[in-house]
Amino acid sequence: MLGLKLPTDPRWVNIVEKNVDEILTDHAYCEQKAASTAISLIIGYPDKKELVHEMSLLAQEEMSHFKMVHDRITARGGHLGRERKDLYVNKLMKFFPKGGSRSDQLVHRLLYAALIEARSCERFRLLSEELEDQDLAKFYRNLMESEAGHYTMFLSFARNYGDRQEVDKKWQDLLDYEAEIMRDLGKEETVHG
C-alpha cells in the first residue's frame, strides 16, 4: 500500500529497543515538525481552502501526538532531549530542484510530506509488531493508522493540485531516490534514520 521500494530492515527494532528514550525524543520532534509543516502549508497557500482546512486539523492532530509522546517520556522518568538533525529528511529534500512555479513547489512539498508519512507509517508498523513492550507496541499501532491516513491525504492533494500523470512520475522517481537514501540508514534509534 505504501509503495516504498526498500523496506526497513527488521533489525532496526533491536536498535530501538536498546534506546527507547532516544527514539521517543526523536519521535516527539518528528510530530512537532509535522505540525510545523502543516502550518507552513497554510501560510504558503492560504488560497487553497481545502488544503487550509485539512492542514489546520493536521496541525492540531500532530501536536496532540507530540503531547502523547512527551507524556510517555515523562512517564518513563525522562525529559525531552535535544533535537537532532534528521539526516533522512535533509537528504530527501534535495531531490526536487529549488524554485519553479508556485504550483510545482506545492506539489513537491506535498510529495515530500507524503513520503515522510509513509516511511513513518512503515516504521511504526514494525514497532507495533516487533517491540517486546506490548504497551509501546500498541501505542505505535494506533499511530501507524494515523500516519497512513496522512500519507494518502498528502498524495491525494499533490495529485489534485498537479497534473496527475506528471505527479505520479515524480512520485515514483522520489520513491526510487528514497530507497537509495534508506540503504545508508536504519542503524540509529531515530524514526527515519
Cβ atoms of 158 and 107 within 8 Å: the answer is yes
Residue 102 is predicted with a pLDDT of 96
- pLDDT at position 1 is 57
- The radius of gyration computed from the CA coordinates of the chain, to the nearest angstrom, equals 16
Nearest C-alpha neighbor of 127 from the set 145, 141, 117, 147: 141
| Mean pLDDT, residues 73-78 | 95
pLDDT value of residue 185: 78
Give me the chain's average pLDDT, please: 93
Which pLDDT score is estimated for 43? 98
- Specify whether the CB–CB gap between 52 and 46 falls below 8 A: yes
Mean pLDDT, residues 15-23 taken together: 90
pLDDT band at 82 (very low <50, low <70, confident <90, very high): confident
Residue 10's pLDDT is what?
A: 87
| pLDDT beyond 90 at 28 | yes
The string of pLDDT tens digits covering residues 137-176 is: 999 999 998 888 999 999 999 999 999 999 999 999 999 9
- Closest C-alpha among 87, 115, 83, 80 to residue 193: 87
